[in-house]
Amino acid sequence: MEPTLIRNLSDHHGNNLAHVLAACGHVQALAWLVGTCGHVLSEALADENKHGLTPSVAAVRCGKLDVIQWMVENTVIRERLFTREGERSLLHAAAKYGQVEITSWCADQLLREGQGMDLADHHGDTPLHLAAKTGNTAVAQKLLERNASVTARNDMSLKPFELAVHHGHSACAEYLLTYEALGDLAVDFTSLEAEAGRLQHENADYKNNFREVLSVSRKLLREREDMCKDLSRLHESTLELHDRLLGQLQQLSAENRQLRRRLQEPADEPADQLDESAELANTLHVRWQHCQRAWFSAPLADTQHRLLMAEQAWKRLRASRKDNVSSMTSAQEIVR
């Protein structure tokens, strides 16, 4: 039979052989027929029946994924993956007729081609609009999983969830509205997460600086304590030397006075000056003891105590930070 006659064969619904084979899922017979009749039957793949359905759309309507795969991979139907001059794509048809598997496969093909899920037909409807219009939540879910826009508006300025409400599909509308609300929440959460990351980075810097301050403070306290011990030992040595020199001077003074009395000479002023020097040395010794109690005892212990309190507060802060990070991680898992 001539290829032209084969193409013109049709039933009372306007279905040609390609319509029938595609709708029934006869991939091998369709492949043989296209291979035998060549470009004549290839052109028949674009023919519409009385319901406006092409063979590929008829296959989508009947859920024949293997037929769609063969057509896209081997015929000009591959062009129907994309919209052209407002025509609906295969993804539109799959969304309209609620074919979940075909929707997923066509969406993945578009993603491989670098296309999005928001191709619009001559009414401005995206595949998600058509899924919402028919109330097919499963198809809507597959599209949203591939980043379809839940806020896209058609030529009537309607979002998908508004279209679902208009056609009485409350469950689908509620799902889309919830997803849209969670999307806004996710955007806010992402910005807060970025801010939290920045604050954590700053906190890490502050923590490192504070750790350095604590380390230097402990080192200074140890050095001060060692210095106080050295000064105390130096003071004891100086005091011992002072007592020894003072005793020797007093002894020399007494011997000097006895010698003058023997020689019947009047006492000189240096003896009085020696007594004054001894008294001044005693006064300095008392002042040193006062300063030692003031500087080397209570303030040092108070500083050590304050440093210990600061270190404990810092450790408690670190523990609370870890708790906050774990709670944030739980919140992320809930939102995602």
Mean pLDDT across the chain: 80
| Block residue for tokens 């929707």 | 103
Which amino acid, one-letter code, is at 184?
A: D
Task: Please tell us whether the domain made up of 85-168 is placed in CATH 1.10.600.10.
Answer: no
Q: Which residue has the higher pLDDT, 135 or 248?
A: 135
Q: Structure pTM?
A: 0.56
**Per-residue pLDDT tens over the stretch 159-184:** 999 999 999 999 999 999 888 888 77
What's the rounded mean pLDDT across residues 34-56? 81
Is there a common fold for 1-81 and 85-168? yes
Least confident interval from 5-14, 104-113, 116-125, 299-308: 299-308
Give pLDDT tens digits for 270-291: 556 666 766 777 777 777 777 7
Whether domain 1-81 has CATH 1.10.3720.10: the reply is no
Phi, psi of 10, deg, nearest 5 = -155, 155
Q: Is the pLDDT of residue 128 over 80?
A: yes
For the stretch 198-244, pLDDT in tens is 888 888 887 788 788 878 878 887 887 788 788 778 877 877 877 78
Q: CB-based contacts of 167: which residues, under 8 Å, 6+ apart?
A: 132, 133, 134, 135
C-alpha 105/C-alpha 101 separation (Å) is 6
User: Domain segments of the chain: what residues?
Assistant: 1-81, 85-168, 188-335
Q: 237-276 burial by CB neighbour count: b if 16+ within 10 A, else e?
A: eeeeebeeeeeeeeeebeeeeeeeeeeeeeeeeeeeebee
Determine the residue type at 42. Answer: S
Q: What is the mean pLDDT of residues 68-81?
A: 89
The torsion angle over the Cα atoms of residues 97, 101, 102 and 105, rounded to 10 degrees, is: 150
In the predicted structure, residue 37 carries a pLDDT above the cut 80? no
